[in-house]
Amino acid sequence: MSMETTAWMQLHSVMNAQSEHRPFARATLRRIAAFARPHRSGLLRFVLLGVVTALLAVATPVLAGRVVDAIVAGHDTGAVVRLSLLIALVALVEAGLGVLARRLSATLGEGLILDLRTAVFDHVQRMPVAFFTRTRTGALVSRLNNDVIGAQRAFANTLSGVVSNLVTLLLTLAVMLTLSWQITLLALVLLPVFVLPARRMGSRMAGMQREAAALNAAMGTRMTERFSAPGATLVKLFGRPEEESAEFAARAARVRDIGVRTATAQSVFITSLTLVSALALALVYGLGGWFALRGSLEPGAVVALALLLTRLYAPLTALAGARVEVMSALVSFERVFEVLDLKPLIEQKPDAREVPEGPVAVEFDGVRFAYPSADQVSLASLEEVAALDTRGGTEVLHGISFRAEPGQTVALVGSSGAGKSTIAQLLPRLYDVDEGAVRIGGVDVRELTAASLRATLGMVTQDGHLFHDTVRANLLLARPEASDEELWDVLGRARLAEVVRSLPDGLDTVVGERGYRLSGGERQRMTIARLLLARQRVVILDEATAHLDNTSEAAVQEALTEALAGRTAVVIAHRLSTVRAADQILVVEAGRIVERGTHEELLAAAGRYAELHRTQFAQRDGAAPGPVPADAAAG
């Protein structure tokens, strides 16, 4: 290994290590050991391989010195050839072991990445919706990528590196001392000249690396926002192209400037260390040659010492930075464990029951609810804030009670922010109530298994979210075993079959990120088709027809009437015309049910529902509405 290569390795090590100094946490080490336990046999083989590689690394300079001695002594050519063949054999074995070590390293590293990523992914999936509404997606994805990879370096690089470098260092020192203790001491005296600049410049380079990462992240965030479908639309509608271009150019210029500074500093650093190493070799050759001419040192020993010098600096500099690497790996592990330690608010009980068979009723009994505070569901590092808000949530539902009998439809109407969607989210246990109970089939949802709850209850939200996948894949989320005939059937009932047939690849057409290749109404009908395919016994429609025009709304209402037949339904509606046929209509205001009854009963009562109805239909007919709040008819 050349001095220049050693310098690059030291620079890379310090630049990529996190400069955090904290004591070793025994709990963290125990958890790391638990993750490492399934890989212990591979780790042992990896460490042993590193020891053998270290032995071979020291053997080559010694053999090279013997070749020189054989030539100077005038021995027969056979001795030189045998030694040369032995050097070639050592090189071949070393190369083969290098490939094997790389394979073992990759197997261990990728295996650990798989374990950590799977653990984090599975844990995050169990987190409540509140976690995702607060967390920055990019910060969470970084835990699955950067921190997991940083953690696996402890297994793939640092562990074996410390062992092999320590063995190499001890063997090299032992051999060098037997050859010439004077030159060995000289090498150790020159070591600080090599290591200290590396540490100092490495820290400076690490700062520039972090600055470059922050600038690249800022530039990337701007590109991501502008290149998403809604972001690009917003820019085209309200943005100023010249200013957008100038702003991006300014950000890109800052990335360019830090790149130039980093490259220049790297060049100066590597050149300086290469110069130091060349001077060290010159001293070894000079002092060793002087000893050789005086007859106190063999010529071959001079060559061996010069070669061993490079073998000495490499492990010494690596071991000097080992603590930084280990601490960096620990920081990465702790950031991963930080996510794993965040307890989900929604947990399935060990003795959870299945939802009873047959048609089921839905009941809310004295439900009170407040959204959880930030410190209950999130991490400051994932929200990128200094500290989480620890204040308790404000109660948004106050004693909600109603019952939807099997096969009945209950509609929720009222002002924006009244709590209608919150009520709907408690049914599938997206949140748990603080007081009271939500029951399906007479059983508290907290007593039911998550699988049976998902199989029983379906929900269509006003967002109408679709994945960046095919029409077929988005539908099969509801029932993976469904046939094409069943897919076309539900598409027809959702009044979407002709639209899908007109797409370039039919069912195999990719709908784009969040379904933006489809219109708002088409996306909503896709989610309704998915609901129809699932065939669940309880259905929640949260503004399911909000994005449909009058023609599409009428068509989908027909499909929903057919789909909801015999099923229990909770419908949140903005358009009161869509809930006239509901068995019961609940008017929700400020987290309370202020009126309940059928459409005719509520109109006759001349209360809040009648006011909403009068306002909405006056606006539809073009008449001036009565004196009601501006958001009274919002959903």
CATH architecture of residue range(s) 362-385+397-621:
3-Layer(aba) Sandwich (3.40)
Q: Binning pLDDT at 50, 70 and 90, where does residue 628 land? A: very low
Looking at 249-253, 433-437, 480-484, 562-566, which range is the least confident one? 562-566
Domain 3-11+23-340 is in which class?
A: mainly alpha
pLDDT in tens, 355-401: 988 888 999 999 999 888 776 777 766 665 555 655 557 889 999 99
The confidence score (pLDDT) of residue 20 equals 47
Q: Binning pLDDT at 50, 70 and 90, where does residue 217 land? A: low
Whether 536 shows a pLDDT value over 70: the answer reads yes
**Separation of alpha carbons 337 and 31, rounded Å:** 9
In the 3-class helix/strand/coil scheme, how is 381-405 assigned residue by residue?
A: HHHCCCCCCCCCCCEEEEEEEEEEC
Measured at the CA of 525, the angle between CA 520 and CA 526, to 5 degrees, comes to 95
Q: Strand 362-370 and strand 592-597: pairing?
A: unpaired
Return the residue matching tokens 């939802």: 355
Return the residue matching tokens 């407040």: 370
Looking at 252-256, 295-299, 378-382, 609-613, which range is the least confident one? 378-382
Q: Which two tokens stand for residue 541?
A: 């429609």
The confidence score (pLDDT) of residue 498 equals 87
Q: Count CB atoms within 10 A of the CB of residue 187.
A: 23
Whether 147 shows a pLDDT value over 80: the answer reads no
Domain ranges of the chain: 3-11+23-340, 362-385+397-621
Whether 109 shows a pLDDT value over 90: the answer reads no
**Separation of alpha carbons 241 and 435, rounded Å:** 53
Range 566-581 average pLDDT: 82
Q: Which two tokens stand for residue 298?
A: 């063999």
**Separation of alpha carbons 59 and 630, rounded Å:** 86
Whether 93 shows a pLDDT value over 60: the answer reads yes
pLDDT in tens, 162-203: 777 788 888 888 888 888 888 888 777 766 666 666 566 656
Count of residues making up the chain: 635
Range 204-224 average pLDDT: 68
Whether 417 shows a pLDDT value over 60: the answer reads yes
DSSP assignment of 18-64 equals -----PPPHHHHHHHHHHHGGGHHHHHHHHHHHHHHHHHHHHHHHHH
**Separation of alpha carbons 486 and 49, rounded Å:** 57
Q: State the Rg of the chain over Cα.
A: 35
Q: In what order do the strands lie in the sheet with 457-460?
A: 457-460, 538-542, 568-572, 409-414, 584-589, 592-597
* Between residues 373 and 583, the one the model is more confident about: 583
The confidence score (pLDDT) of residue 49 equals 84
pTM of the model: 0.66
In this structure, is the dihedral angle defined by the CA atoms of residues 611, 613, 616 and 618, taken in order, positive or negative? negative
Residues 466/523, Cβ–Cβ less than 8 Å: yes
Q: Strand 584-589 and strand 362-370: pairing?
A: unpaired
Range 128-137 average pLDDT: 75
